[in-house]
Amino acid sequence: MAVALSPAVSLRLKPFSAVRFFSLYRRASKTALYHQIHHFHSYHFTPHPTPPLSTLNSHRGRSFCSVVSAALSSGEATKTESFDKEEVKIGEKVGEFRKRLRIVDIKGGPDEGLNRLDETLVVKGWVRTVRAQSSISFIEINDGSCLSNMQCVLSSDAEGYDQVEKGLVLTGASIWVRGVLVKSQGSKQKVELKVEKIVLVGPSDPSFPIQKKRVSREFLRTKAHLRPRTNTFSAVARVRNSLAYATHKFFQDNGFIWVSSPIITASDCEGAGEQFCVTTLIPGSRETTHTPVAAIPSTKDGLIDWSQDFFGKPAFLTVSGQLNGETYATALSDVYTFGPTFRAENSNTSRHLAEFWMIEPELAFADLEDDMACATAYLQYVVQYVLENCQEDMAFFDTWIEKGIIKRLTDVVEKNFVQLTYTDAINLLLKAKKKFEFPVKWGCDLQSEHERYITEEAFAGCPVIIRDYPKACLFPLDY
C-alpha cells in the first residue's frame, strides 16, 4: 500500500497520489471561497516556533454538499467560528470526520425508528417514488444503507414545497430533507419523516430508466451506471461487502496474515487454467483499434520481441496466489490471499468467470483435517455473519430471487459438516436405491445428481466434504 504517510510530504489531492479522496460534489462552497479571498488579503505570517496552527479556526465537522450549502440560509450549513480579521492566520485545522446519519441508523434497529420519535433529522438520498395528493405529498427516499426507504410526508407549508408542486422532484432525483420523525399512519413502516424543508440537490426527468416497475437484469445490464439504485443490485452490493469483511475478520481473528500476492506474474499454477497476457507491445491500442500487426516489435525472424515488452518477457494475469502464499506460509505460519484472479477459458457457464475474487488460505504445520476444519469454520462464520448483518437483504432474496435460501444457509451454519472419502462416496452411491443418469463407478467424476443425492438425501442437507479423490479426477489433463 503506497500511502504517503510522511508528514514531510504534504498530502495533495492529485490524480497520481496513491490515496485519493474525491467527493462527488467538488465545487468550492461560497463560504470556502470567501475564506480563501479573505485569507489572501489579510495574510499574516507567524514564523516557527509558534506555528499558524496554534490559533487555527476549528472547522465544522461533516458538512453538506455545496449545492445544499448554497440553498440553506446563512449559518444553517456551516458553523465556522468567527474570527477577528486582523488576527487571522494562514491555514485551517481540518475538521472532524463524522459518520453520516443513514436510514439504516434510523430504521434498522429493533424499534424500527420508534426510539427516535420527535427527533429532528436530516436525510439525504435518491427519490424512489413521489405521490402527490391534494394537500399532501409522499416521497420515498432511499440512501443505499438498507433496502428500506424513508417515507417523507410534505404538506404545502414545507419550505421548498414549490419544487414538488412544479413537478421537479421526480424518481431518481437526489434530495436533502429535514423533518421530525413521527409515527407513521401507514402499515408498511413504523415511522415517517414530517418534512419541514426540502432541497433538490440533483434533478431527474421522466425518462429516468429505473422506475417503480420491475425490469429485467438484461435491461439493467444496458444501464450499468444506474443499476446499483435497484433493490436487487444494492442488496447484492451490501451482502458482498459483508461477505468480504467477514472473510477478513475470520482470518484476522484466527491469527492469519493477509498477503497480497502479485496480480501480474510470470508463474502458472497447477495448470489451473488459461491465462491472459499482459503487455505494452501493442502500440496505440489505447487510442484506437486500428492497430497494424506490423507495428508490434519483432525480431528479424518475425518473432515477437519480448525484450521490448514492459517486463522484458511475457507476463500474465495470475490464476492463483498459491505459490506466493506458500512462501509466506512457510515463514509466517498462517496466511491468506484475497484478491482478484483471472481465467481466460472461453467458457460461458455459471461456474466460470474471467475475473473473480478468490480466497486462498495457506496453513503451515497442518494437515487435511485442519484444512477441512478451517474451511468449515470459515464458511459457517461468513454465512452466519451475513444472516445476522444482512437480514433485510436476505429476506428480500428469499422472497424475490431464490425461495428457501435462508433455510439452506441456516443449515450451513447449524448443521455439522460431514467429510468422507471419495471411495466411501462411491460405495454410498452404488448402494443407493436410485437410478442415476450418469452411471457410478470408482474413478468417475461426480456429477451434480450424485452430489445432490449425497448432500440432500444421504446426509439430509448437511454440507459434505469429499476427500481423497483419485488423482485422475483432479488433474484430468495429466492422464
Task: Identify residues 12-71 at the interface with a copy of itself (CB under 8 A).
Answer: 12-16, 18-29, 32, 36, 39-40, 43, 45, 47-49, 51-53, 56, 59-66, 68-69
109, three cell numbers: 434497529
User: Nearest distance from residue 301's CB to a copy of itself, in Å?
Assistant: 8
Q: Which is nearer to a copy of itself, 135 or 307 (CB)?
A: 307
Point out which span in 112-120, 130-138, 185-193, 230-238 binds a copy of itself (CB under 8 A).
Answer: 230-238
Question: Could you say which residues in the range 257-286 bind a copy of itself, by CB under 8 A?
Answer: 257-260, 262-264, 268, 270-282, 285-286
Query: Which one of residues 376, 392, 396, 470 is an interface residue with a copy of itself (CB under 8 A)?
Result: 376
User: Nearest distance from residue 344's CB to a copy of itself, in Å?
Assistant: 5
Cα–chain-centroid distance for residue 213?
A: 25
Residue found by looking up cell 446499483 in the block: 228
Query: Which one of residues 162, 370, 436, 472 is an interface residue with a copy of itself (CB under 8 A)?
Result: 370
> Both ends of the chain: CA-CA distance in Å?
43
**Residue 179 to residue 122: CA distance in whole angstroms:** 7
Identify residue 102 by its one-letter amino acid code. R
Q: Which is nearer to a copy of itself, 311 or 400 (CB)?
A: 311
User: Nearest distance from residue 201's CB to a copy of itself, in Å?
Assistant: 7
Element (H or E) spanning 287, and its range?
none
Q: Are 212 and 206 in contact (CB under 8 A)?
A: no
228, three cell numbers: 446499483
Identify residue 173 by its one-letter amino acid code. A
Point out which span in 131-139, 141-149, 161-169, 185-193 binds a copy of itself (CB under 8 A).
Answer: 141-149
Residue found by looking up cell 431527474 in the block: 204
Question: Could you say which residues in the range 107-136 bind a copy of itself, by CB under 8 A?
Answer: 124-126
Query: Which one of residues 132, 366, 387, 444 is an interface residue with a copy of itself (CB under 8 A)?
Result: 366
Q: Which is nearer to a copy of itself, 138 or 258 (CB)?
A: 258
Residue found by looking up cell 507567524 in the block: 46
Q: Which is nearer to a copy of itself, 30 or 182 (CB)?
A: 30
> CA distances (Å), 117 to each of 190, 194, 196, 385, in order?
10, 11, 15, 30
Q: Which is nearer to a copy of itself, 74 or 293 (CB)?
A: 293
User: Nearest distance from residue 148's CB to a copy of itself, in Å?
Assistant: 14
Q: Which is nearer to a copy of itself, 165 or 355 (CB)?
A: 355
Q: Are 171 and 181 in contact (CB under 8 A)?
A: no
Question: Could you say which residues in the range 151-180 bind a copy of itself, by CB under 8 A?
Answer: 174, 176
> CA distances (Å), 412 to each of 238, 383, 474, in order?
20, 8, 25
β-strand pairing of 264-265 with 257-258 = unpaired
Q: Which is nearer to a copy of itself, 132 or 418 (CB)?
A: 418
Q: Does 185 bind a copy of itself (CB under 8 A)?
A: no
Question: Could you say which residues in the range 295-334 bind a copy of itself, by CB under 8 A?
Answer: 296, 298, 302-304, 306, 310, 313-314, 316-317, 322, 326-334
User: Nearest distance from residue 132's CB to a copy of itself, in Å?
Assistant: 24
Question: Could you say which residues in the range 426-465 bind a copy of itself, by CB under 8 A?
Answer: 427-428, 431, 433, 446, 448, 451-452, 454-465
User: Nearest distance from residue 216's CB to a copy of itself, in Å?
Assistant: 19
Q: Are 177 and 220 in contact (CB under 8 A)?
A: no
**Residue 253 to residue 336: CA distance in whole angstroms:** 12
Q: Which is nearer to a copy of itself, 167 or 461 (CB)?
A: 461
Q: Which is nearer to a copy of itself, 255 or 443 (CB)?
A: 255
Q: Does 363 bind a copy of itself (CB under 8 A)?
A: yes
User: Nearest distance from residue 183's CB to a copy of itself, in Å?
Assistant: 26
> CA distances (Å), 187 to each of 120, 190, 191, 197, in order?
22, 7, 10, 25
Q: Which of 338, 340, 329 is nearest to 263 (CA)?
A: 340
> CA distances (Å), 99 to each of 6, 46, 61, 81, 314, in order?
26, 34, 10, 22, 46
User: Nearest distance from residue 379's CB to a copy of itself, in Å?
Assistant: 7
Question: Could you say which residues in the range 233-252 bind a copy of itself, by CB under 8 A?
Answer: 233-234, 237-238, 240-241, 243-245, 247-248, 252
Site size toward a copy of itself, by CB under 8 A: 218
Residue found by looking up cell 427516499 in the block: 141
Q: What is the DSSP letter of 436?
A: -
Q: Are 80 and 31 in contact (CB under 8 A)?
A: yes
Q: Are 464 and 412 in contact (CB under 8 A)?
A: no
Q: Which is nearer to a copy of itself, 111 or 445 (CB)?
A: 445
349, three cell numbers: 457457464
Cis peptide bond upstream of 361, omega within 30:
no
Point out which span in 110-118, 127-135, 190-198, 421-429 binds a copy of itself (CB under 8 A).
Answer: 421-429
Q: Does 414 bind a copy of itself (CB under 8 A)?
A: no
